[in-house]
Chains A and B, each alone.
Chain A
Amino acid sequence: MAVYNLKINGTRMEVDVDPTTPLLWVLRDHLNMVGTKYGCGIAQCGACTVHLGDTATRSCSLPVSSVGDQEVTTIEGLSENGDHPVQKAWLEVDVPQCGYCQTGQIMSAAALLKSNPNPSDTDIESAMNGNICRCGTYVRIKKAIKLAADQPAT
């Protein structure tokens, strides 16, 4: 066990866990932030996506010991009131079916738009290809990202 002082959503949070524990389980089990989802555990489905700095990162395969001083943003910290342009676009287009993968989708989309505010169809497909939606909402995900790209950031 070891103590880690993590910077999550702008707040310092201390956890005492095994160094191999993936950030995903630190968030879910130790910090009670369950918006980041477990889907595969091997960085294949994207349900666990968080931002490390500005980069979309699969938290299921990131040991807590390697987070260091990097700023972590989870879905809970993406916006104050769920009003990030991507979240608003997701509601406007009514993207979710079961909803389970959607926080990971939203985190990947938000990272994409931060680095590329006007992505092409190919940019979107390539950035979002690591996020599986078993319900098959891909057509709406693409539509919502285009809508969010047209909205000014709040």
Chain B
Amino acid sequence: MTLIKTSIGRRSFIKSSALAGGGMMLGFSWLASCKDEAAREAALAMPDEWFEINGFLKIGDNGVVTIMSPNPEIGQNVKTAMPMIVADELDIDWERVIVEQAPLNLDIFTRQLAGGSQSIRQGWQGLRLAGATARQMLRQAAAQAWEVPVEEVTTSEGMLHHEASGQSAGYGEMASAAAALEVPEEVALKEPKDFTIIGTDRKNVDGPKIVKGEPLFGLDVQRDGMLIAMVAHPPAFGMKLKSVDAESVKSMPGIRDVFPIVVYPEGAERQWSDGGAIPEMVAIVGESTWECMQAKKALQAEWEADGTLESTAYHEEELDRLLATAPEKPAREDGNVQRAFAQAAKVVESTYSAPFLAHNTMEPMNFFAHVTPEKAELLGPIQTPEYLENTLVSVLGMPKEKIDVMMTRMGGGFGRRLYGTFAVEAAMISRKMQAPVKLVYTREDDMTQGTYRPSYKIHYKAGLDEAGNLIAWHVRGVGTNDDLVFENRFPAGAVDNYLAEKHALPTLVTTGAWRAPRSNFIAGAEQAFMDEVAEAAGKDPIEFRLELFDRAIKDPVGDPETNDYDPERYAGVLKLVREKSNWEAGPPSGLSRGVAAYFCHNSYVAQVMDLKVEANTPKVEKVYCAVDCGIVINPLSAKNQVEGGIVDGIGHATFSALTFRDGRAEQSNFDTYRLIRNAEAPKSIETYFVDNGIDPTGLGEPSLPPIQGALANALYKATGTRYYEQPFFGERRIIG
């Protein structure tokens, strides 16, 4: 048992009446795990009275517990996993838990953000403390009521017991007294071996609502008197509004108003989340979505160039130029690569590239806003509610106390909803209209006015000695607005002569975080190149990698603290996937096999893929995946995340690209932008977790990056061709 000082989390235990009602319009969520509908309803019968123990949870007089899920839910399933952690330390029957999405409230919660696969990792301690503290207060309340020492009061699944006197009570009976107690100075956390909920399969708490189509998402928000708003942004990056003929569309059916609007006034303080903000646009406000769409189509606006109107050909040429001619700029240098290459028995070099990508969340950007002089109410899909609130303070000129930001479930995030400029647009339009509005982007708006995954190119050069040992590694990466290379990641630390260089090409196209930023390209490139080098060395690709990890374990190059990975855990997932895929035996007849491993977002993933190529399309039969993310909170949904990342990675590497002509995105919907579909997904995915009891790390991103390497390597085995340019099977990008 570990005693933990609660002082670090005291801020989280400020009792707040704001949450007691818990009444966001979308309400609470039923649990899916009860099989018997009647039993479930009985178990979750509403109590007559709630007692708030701390900001994370309240207990009803009948023992039902409501747990707030602090972080935004984008499909990474934190709305189930985070409350599971609280519930385990509280020691409650999960069937008697109701989960509610918390609003933005930094007096209680910390880091209410969906990004970087950090919700579980950074929430872990606070969530455990919230549950453990509440359990301790319940024990104290029972001890006082029964006049026995608190040490003798035990708990089990929502019940308090005193064995010597034979007394017992439900949490509900002691909740009132517990709520009145001081928060203890110190509490004991469970040993991982004593977890009863963490590490067990629990179904998505929103599952029943999802399959019934009940309102959950931002686009589903309806309010009395609510108007629909749409915006016409400049049609190209590098353009701005010149003039608009608002009058001719104002009279169209259902249209209330059409006007140019400055969303970000001169001098407004921008957050990082406002990176791609468009200052001025045209707003179309009406009674229904269809009517607004028609008016938006008919709108006559003039736009003028405000900078260079860039095309994909320009980006490609400039990236090539940077890659070839930018002055040497070492981000990390060990030994002397030039001398090592001169002495090498073999030198291998290759260049890899990938295009811009759109996020394409299935639910397009949207937000509800109701701004009055007294109050601003914002409700919708946002990964960064804290930063949105900060921006609203500046653009609305209102103090935080008058601004409420609430999160709906999100129809996908992938990083797009880190950049909440659409919510700011909704707020400014609501204020102008003096009415509640729901701003809706069309799919075309969403795809062509995005914050994209940058386009990248990377060059690798490796030197081998006579024995096939890696003696030199040079990586030079370039990207649009992004310098791409993580200089301290593998194989840094495993090779004597190492040079990493990186450069960014400034562009007017808005770029930002897209699921597993940078890693989503560099992992596939690095792991494909590693395969080429292993082949040149005449070694098995897994054995070749393990030799490098062995070097990094026994005799790391440079300061081991600088190397951004743990070589033992890295090697561990490779060994696990080697075993589970029966690597030595090779792929089943007719299939070709590739391997890759990568570390990002604090987690380690290794994958083996078996595929064949039919009709110029890869058919992936099976993916074996080994993951080390420490303690797994909910294996059922953790595997879902891993499967999703694998499908996502295969899909984008195989099919997807966004290109530009004169600043305009050339793909605007799913007829021209190819996403992976059902028949193209792997037939099966087997996921295995390393069981090591280490504190949990993230899982929303790490399974995506390496799969692109496994795919390239399996394709090479199948076709004899190395795949260097993403998308591997998309329309070839038209240059010029």
Contacts and interface: CB of A to CB of B under 8 A. Distances in A.
Interface of A: 1, 17-18, 20-22, 25, 28-30, 32-42, 44-45, 47, 74-76, 81-82, 87, 90-91, 94, 96-103, 106, 121, 124-126, 128-142
Given A22-B290, A128-B678, A131-B678, A96 B212 contact: no
A91 to B, nearest CB: 5
Contact of A125 (B76, B201, B410, B678): B678
B211 A138 contact: no
B260 interface: no
B560 interface: no
B643 A132 contact: no
13 contacts: A18-B291, A20-B294, A39-B670, A91-B203, A91-B208, A97-B640, A97-B641, A99-B204, A99-B217, A101-B411, A125-B678, A139-B681, A139-B685
B22 interface: no
B545 to A, nearest CB: 26
Contacts of B648: 134-136
A92 B679 CA distance: 22
B469 interface: no
Contact of A132 (B215, B294, B677): B677
B681 to A, nearest CB: 4
Contacts of B216: 99
A97 B678 contact: no
A133 B412 CA distance: 10
A99 B219 CA distance: 13
A36 B683 CA distance: 28
Contacts of A34: 213, 215, 219-220, 222
Given A82-B211, A100-B362, A40 B410 contact: no
Given A21-B288, A37-B363, A90-B211, 14 more contacts: A17-B288, A36-B213, A42-B670, A75-B213, A82-B211, A94-B640, A98-B410, A98-B412, A106-B211, A124-B678, A132-B362, A135-B648, A139-B681, A139-B685
B393 interface: no
A37 B362 contact: yes
B203 A98 contact: no
A137 B644 contact: yes
Interface string B424-468: 000000000000000000110000000000000000000000000
A83 B467 CA distance: 64
Contact of A76 (B201, B213, B289, B411): B213
Contacts of A137: 640, 643-644, 647
B640 to A, nearest CB: 6
Q: 6 closest pairs, A vs B, by CB? A: A35-B213, A136-B647, A100-B411, A98-B75, A75-B213, A138-B681
A133 B203 CA distance: 19
Contact of A41 (B219, B228, B443): B443
B318 to A, nearest CB: 30
Contacts of A30: 288
Interface in B75-109: 75-77
Contact of B361 (A130, A134, A140): A134
Contacts of B646: 136
B362 A29 contact: no
A142 B640 CA distance: 13
B450 to A, nearest CB: 14
A141 B683 CA distance: 11
B460 to A, nearest CB: 28
Nearest to A36: B213
A28 B290 CA distance: 10
A40 B443 contact: yes
B212 A75 contact: yes
B618 interface: no
A100 B443 contact: no
B645 interface: yes
Contacts of B412: 98, 100, 134-135
Nearest to B208: A82
Contact of A102 (B76, B211, B253, B645): B211
Interface in B199-247: 201, 203-204, 206-208, 210-217, 219-220, 222, 228
A30 B37 CA distance: 32
Contacts of A100: 217, 361-363, 411-412
Nearest to A92: B203
Contacts of B685: 139
Contacts of A76: 212-213
Interface string B270-304: 00000000000000000011110110000000000
Nearest to A99: B210
Given A35-B213, A136-B676, A81 B640 contact: no
A88 B573 CA distance: 35
A82 B208 CA distance: 7
Contacts of B201: 94
A45 B203 contact: no
B512 interface: no
Nearest to A38: B219
Contacts of A130: 677
Nearest to A121: B683
Nearest to A1: B253
A99 B206 contact: yes
B220 A91 contact: no
A96 B214 CA distance: 14
Nearest to A42: B669
Nearest to B651: A136
B60 interface: no
Contacts of A140: 640, 643
B75 A126 contact: no
B411 A132 contact: no
B420 interface: no
B679 A125 contact: yes
Contacts of B214: 35
B636 interface: yes
A26 to B, nearest CB: 8
A1 B291 CA distance: 11
Nearest to B287: A29
Nearest to B623: A139
Contacts of B213: 33-36, 74-76, 103
A18 B188 CA distance: 64
A22 B645 CA distance: 34
Nearest to A82: B212
B223 to A, nearest CB: 11
Contacts of A94: 32, 201, 203-204, 207, 636-637, 640
Interface in B624-660: 636-637, 640-641, 643-648, 651
B574 interface: no
A69 B656 CA distance: 41
B700 to A, nearest CB: 10
B670 to A, nearest CB: 4
B395 interface: no
Interface in B586-631: none
B608 to A, nearest CB: 16
B268 interface: no
Contacts of A36: 213
B640 A32 contact: no
Contacts of A20: 290, 294
Given A91-B211, A134-B362, A137-B640, A96 B204 contact: yes
A32 B214 CA distance: 11
A141 to B, nearest CB: 7
B176 interface: no
Of B293, B364, B648, B678, chain A has the most CB atoms within 10 Å of the CB of: B678
Contact of B288 (A29, A40, A128, A134): A29
